[in-house]
Amino acid sequence: MITLDNFNFAGRKAVVRVDFNVPLDKDFRITDFNRINATLPTIKKILSDGGSAILMSHLGRPKDGPTEKYSLKHLVADLARLTDATVKFADDCISDDAVAQAAALQPGEILLLENLRFYKEEEKGDVAFAEKLARLGDVWVNDAFGTAHRAHASTAVMGQFFKDKVAGYVMQAELENARKVLDDIEHPYTAIMGGAKISDKILIIERLIDKVDNLIIGGGMSYTFAKAMGGEIGKSLVEEDRLDLAKALIEKAKAKGVNLMLPQDSKAADAFSNDANTTFVPNNAIPADYMGLDIGPEAIKAFSEVVAASKTVLWNGPMGVFEFPNFAAGTIAVAEAVVKATEAGGYSLIGGGDSAAAINQLGFGEQVSYVSTGGGALLEYMEGKVLPGVAALD
């Protein structure tokens, strides 16, 4: 795979797949710049080499073609400000106008294309559509790791039309950091799995059992394990059809000598509400009319000690209903323990989604080793699946 630092863009027109799927408010103002900021080094490298950049992305999930709220034109002013470059806009990603604007683009300039998903062919991975996008430049750069698990026209299919294919800095960093928790591991290695469902994490949990020293299970999925072991979990979230799987995972961890840690206690509530009545109870003895919404103080202490003493930490998924302040203590404590492990010289990867949101909201984003923007793509890569967007760069 060719990376940016091994390629000179002087005089070249780079068609760059970026992830500009950013949230906009009702006045179409960007409310979170993380994804754009992550891509800036890639864009600036192309421009500083003396190349020009044709940027393409999706935004949201438009159902019926062009839609005002999903238009990328709302990003032009901010992109010009952040790159300090001339940013032009093509209101149709494959039109003759887009081709003409790309052809006329001067070194150091940017052309932003309209939302790729205004064409249904994008998500279908249509070859003819991909070829039309490929007409716009002479080198393809893929910097959208977050969509690398999709075989869409712009994320994978169009690679076949280029001799020169380059991984952007985001793509490179995501892959290098994922490998640190898959291959280049320093022990003790602790994986923290949270979130609602075992079914979302089965493959990654099974793969991690072969690699980790400690596997911590928190969040809603822990109650399926508790019930599988004969516990009373009240009205807590449970996947009845995954009880046998939970038992099998417990047995597999035991057979591999992995320390599988489940919460000893929970903060339980009588309603799914921040203002519900609460009580701390053993995880296997939750009253019939209560539900577990966060890990309890005993679990916090046990989890935090193991995490803080680890040399490699992977965290994916919150410990409770983090969006309710009264049930955020477990997630906050784990985040603090991850920071502590990192400060002591350990390596920490925060696996996108809710965990990334939590770590950034708490202001710890700069105090851990790497916060992935990958979400589903990272999980699939860690499960051992081939990502179309990565394979297309080889």
What residues are annotated to the active site? Answer: 35, 197, 353, 376
Question: Is the peptide bond prior to 188 cis by the omega test (within 30 degrees of 0)?
Answer: yes
Whose CA is closest to 212, among 337, 382, 26, 327? 382
Residue 345, classified by CB atoms within 10 Å of its CB into exposed (0-12), middle (13-18) or buried (19+), is exposed
Amino acid type, 321: V
Would you report the helix, strand and coil content of the chain in percent, each value rounded to 5?
40, 20, 40
Transcribe 352-373 into DSSP letters: SHHHHHHHHHTT-GGGSSEE-S
| Three-state DSSP state, 91 | coil
Euclidean distance between CA atoms 260 and 258, whole angstroms: 6
Inter-axis angle of helices 329-343 and 297-308, nearest 10: 20
Stated as kind and residue range, the H or E segment containing 388 is helix 388-391
- Asked if 19 and 144 touch (Cβ cutoff 8 Å), the reply is yes
- Greatest pairwise CA separation for the chain in angstroms: 69
How many separate helices (H) and strands (E) can be counted in the chain? 14, 18
